[in-house]
Amino acid sequence: MSDGTTVPGRRTGRLRTLVLGEEHPWTLISMGNLASTYSSSGRWKQAEELEKQALETKRRVLNQDHPDILTSMGNLATTYWNQGQLQKAEKLEKEVMETRERVLGKEHPDTLTSIVNLAYTYKSRGHSEKAIAMIMDVSALRSLLLGEDHPDTRSLTNVLEKWRDEDLMSM
């Protein structure tokens, strides 16, 4: 197993690369799927390498504002976050958020998710006030757009309460 030849995802990815080429959408999907598998099993370095490779290829062949590029950037940011590389995660998350805001608008669900992801990174880096303000903004927007009882709105309300309690306890 150490040479990777018995790992089905790797084998599929290699075959797709050989048959379809490294820039084919199905090859990139296979890379993303394998990176996701690595992430799910805590194999962060392997996930990071695949995510970087997929992102580099997508940047070469797609429009810079393409949703697939932004998704890949977000996935890589999550991998960085899970490895404790919070500055790298923050940089990518900011870029994803700003691009989605510009292309999709501030109220788009993907933009709001990007803001929440960045808020979590800010919180992890000790910037609680900034993180709480971001969550408050997204929570208010989701409440207006989806209603106060929507699961996404309620989830953010719970996060907000938890973070406020943590801040009070740390004083």
Q: What is the pLDDT of residue 52?
A: 95
Instruction: Name the DSSP class of 62.
Output: S
pLDDT string in tens for the chain (171-residue length): 444 434 445 554 454 454 456 776 777 888 888 899 999 999 999 999 999 999 999 999 998 899 999 999 999 999 999 999 999 999 999 999 999 999 999 999 999 999 999 999 999 999 999 999 999 999 999 999 999 999 999 999 999 999 999 988 887
Do 150 and 100 belong to one domain?
yes
The verdict on 52 and 100 lying in the same domain is no
pLDDT confidence of residue 5: 39
Domain ranges, residue 57? 1-61
The confidence score (pLDDT) of residue 102 equals: 96
47 and 101 housed in the same domain:
no
Q: How many domains are there within the chain? A: 2
- Assess if residue 76 is contained within a domain: no
What 56-63 contacts at long range (C-beta under 8 Å, 24+ apart), as own/partner pairs, is 57/22, 57/23, 57/28, 58/28, 60/23, 61/23
Instruction: Give the pLDDT score at 3.
Output: 42
Is position 49 within any domain?
Answer: yes
* DSSP secondary structure code for residue 20 in this structure: H
Residue 42 in any domain: the answer is yes
Q: Are 93 and 118 in contact (CB under 8 A)?
A: yes
For residues 29 and 109, membership in a common domain is answered with no
